[in-house]
Chain A
Amino acid sequence: MKKIVPVIVLALLFAIALFNDSALELSPTWSWVVTILLGLAMVVVLILSMTGKMIERRIVFLFVGISLVLPFFMNFTMPLNVSPVVQTLYDALNKLPKGSKVLASFDYDPPSAPELQPMADAFVKWAFRNDIKVIIVGLWPQGPLQANLSVEAAMADPEIAAKNPKYGVDYVNLGFQTGNEFVIQGMGTSFRAKFPTDLYNTPYDSIPLMRGVENFSNIDFVMNLSSGYPGTVEWVQIAVDRFGVPVGAGNTAVQAPQVYPYVESGQLTGLLGGMSGAAEFEKATGEAGQANTFLLSQSFAHLVVVGFILIGNVALFIGQNRRRAPLV
């Protein structure tokens, strides 16, 4: 029974957070009170660890779960600065004239959606609002379906719905193609050869948006959202280095460090890294979305993890000193 309590508490909290429609939102004062209580609980863990009683991992899980869920009920605003790598991407996109054709490659699947979907949503909304034509492709099988979710989210926006972007004219989903980086390479010669039909089996030549699009020379910008292979590295190595098309990217936080060298060298035109990159992009584009909400959760979770690292190390040092102390 004792072992099940943390699971029940977490399940209840997640369930309430899932169905919470702001009715249970705490006032800023209560938000601070809850935060301080969480901090005090961490102090208890510190004291226990210092006395040599390492807490069970279920308790660690409970702390992480609570720190992830509580922010959904809180009323906090935190300063968020747009970092240079995000600003570079936004500036490059913003320079595109109306009617420009942007190829959006959705190279991820649902596990990475919490980080990448907010970027995709903000990008698609921004594109529709600014009359940018979006050509969607996917090097991952689930990518084009994730793109559809972003299009649906954009269409739910009253202002965009009023503009009524038309499928095949303002945007198109060419679907998934196997072949990893060879698809990118093939697109350098002929889009038609790699995507003879769209996701709904419409022939390439019957899609108004694709008329006049032969290869990358007819594309103004590539936006790549990726969580692994094939992804940003392949787009840089082939689309940028070989065919000279500018590429901007959004990556998971885990993958972002691997592509930083490409940003520094100028091969990659900006980078959105993880949830913070998504939130900064939302701020830059003015498309407030999920990332800003999720970022508060992530802030709390990061603090809790850092707290546990410090507690673990304090316990280690105190334990070492005890062992070194001479017996009286």
Chain B
Amino acid sequence: MKREIPLIITFVAGCVFVIQYFIPHWPFNEFEQVFTDWFSIVQAFAIWLGALSLLKFSMLKIQRRQKDWYMSVIIIVGFAVMVAYGAYDGFVGMNANPAYSFRDPGTHFDWLYQNIYTPLTSTMFALLAFFVASASYRAFRARNFQATLLLIAGILVMIGRVPVGDLITQFLPESYRAANLADWIMNPLNATGQRAIMIGIALGTVSTSLRIILGIERSHLEG
């Protein structure tokens, strides 16, 4: 039964979602609402599971003094501080008059979010610019025809996506300026390729979904 029950749930939920897309009326719309709520609940638990798993992993790393274990200390302290201040602000705000939320501007939680979380995560993302530049200098080479095409397209889009591109190419006829060339690459060329990829992915998704709904593909039940 450990395998049969998940298979039955998958089959029923999958069929309901497919049918209600084409027949959005009773009883399928009601079923859809129920399964959508289930999905939200399961996902909410998944967030908790993820957080607890991260804590467990970090604690084990500290306990075993694995490489960079002090990073795990920062994770746990950061986690605890955010949760503690969120709970504190929530409790105080609940009893205040007028009541306020822990996410309101001016709370400790909001201060931590604005001044620590936001700059740290933005910095991580911003580092990409530096590594992309370094990698481009060392590895983005016109070694063959395909790589040359990619290189030319990349340069044209990079230049055409910023106003300096039009400044540099302003002596050219309107349709040959950097911005228009970038638009041409992005629209007909990129859109066509993307569409082909999307159709391929959609067909793959449909076939895999059918295999899962019909119980042919069971790898998701393992582990």
Contacts and interface: CB of A to CB of B under 8 A. Distances in A.
Interface of A: 54-55, 57, 60-61, 63-65, 68, 78-81, 83-84, 109-114, 144-145, 148, 152, 177-180, 182-183, 185-186, 189-190, 193, 199-201, 242, 253, 256-258, 260-261, 263-264, 273-274, 276, 279, 295, 298-306, 308-313, 316
B125 A111 contact: yes
B33 interface: yes
Interface of B: 21, 29, 32-33, 36-37, 39-40, 43-44, 47, 100-101, 103-105, 110, 113, 117-119, 121-122, 124-126, 129-130, 132-134, 136-143, 151, 154-155, 158-159, 161-164, 166-167, 170, 179, 183, 186-187, 190-191, 194-195, 198
Contact of A200 (B100, B126, B134, B179): B100
Contacts of B101: 199-201
The dominant DSSP class at the A interface is helix
- Among A54, A242, A309, the most chain B Cβ lie within 10 Å of the Cβ of A309
Contact of A110 (B40, B118, B187): B118
A257 B125 CA distance: 19
Contacts of B138: 54, 57, 312
B191 A261 contact: yes
A63 B163 contact: no
B194 A313 contact: no
- Among B43, B125, B183, the most chain A Cβ lie within 10 Å of the Cβ of B125
A91 B191 CA distance: 22
A114 B126 contact: yes
Contact of B133 (A61, A80, A144): A61
The dominant DSSP class at the B interface is helix
A183 B141 contact: no
B133 A179 contact: no
20 contacts: A57-B134, A60-B137, A64-B129, A64-B130, A78-B164, A83-B183, A110-B122, A185-B32, A189-B32, A261-B198, A264-B191, A276-B163, A295-B163, A300-B164, A302-B159, A302-B164, A303-B164, A305-B132, A312-B136, A316-B143
B136 A305 contact: yes
A199 B110 CA distance: 14
A313 B179 contact: no
B23 to A, nearest CB: 13
B125 A112 contact: yes
Given A61-B130, A114-B122, A312 B163 contact: no
Given A109-B121, A305-B158, A83 B179 contact: yes
Contacts of B179: 81, 83
Nearest to A252: B125
Contacts of B159: 302-303, 306
A55 B134 CA distance: 10
B40 A177 contact: yes
Contacts of A63: 133
Contacts of B110: 145
4 A-B pairs with least C-beta separation: A111-B125, A78-B163, A179-B40, A308-B137
A79 B134 contact: no
B43 A180 contact: yes
Given A111-B124, A302-B162, A260 B194 contact: yes
A163 to B, nearest CB: 20
B136 to A, nearest CB: 5
B124 to A, nearest CB: 6
Given A276-B163, A309-B151, 7 more contacts: A110-B119, A182-B40, A189-B29, A260-B191, A298-B162, A299-B163, A301-B133
Contacts of B161: 253, 273-274, 276, 302
B107 to A, nearest CB: 11
Contact of A299 (B154, B162, B190, B194): B162
A61 B134 contact: yes
A258 B121 contact: no
Contact of A189 (B33, B104, B141): B33
B33 A145 contact: no
A200 B104 contact: yes
B190 A260 contact: yes
A32 B222 CA distance: 63
B186 to A, nearest CB: 6
A310 B104 CA distance: 49
A258 B183 CA distance: 14
B186 A257 contact: yes
Contacts of B40: 177-179, 182-183, 186
A306 B191 CA distance: 24
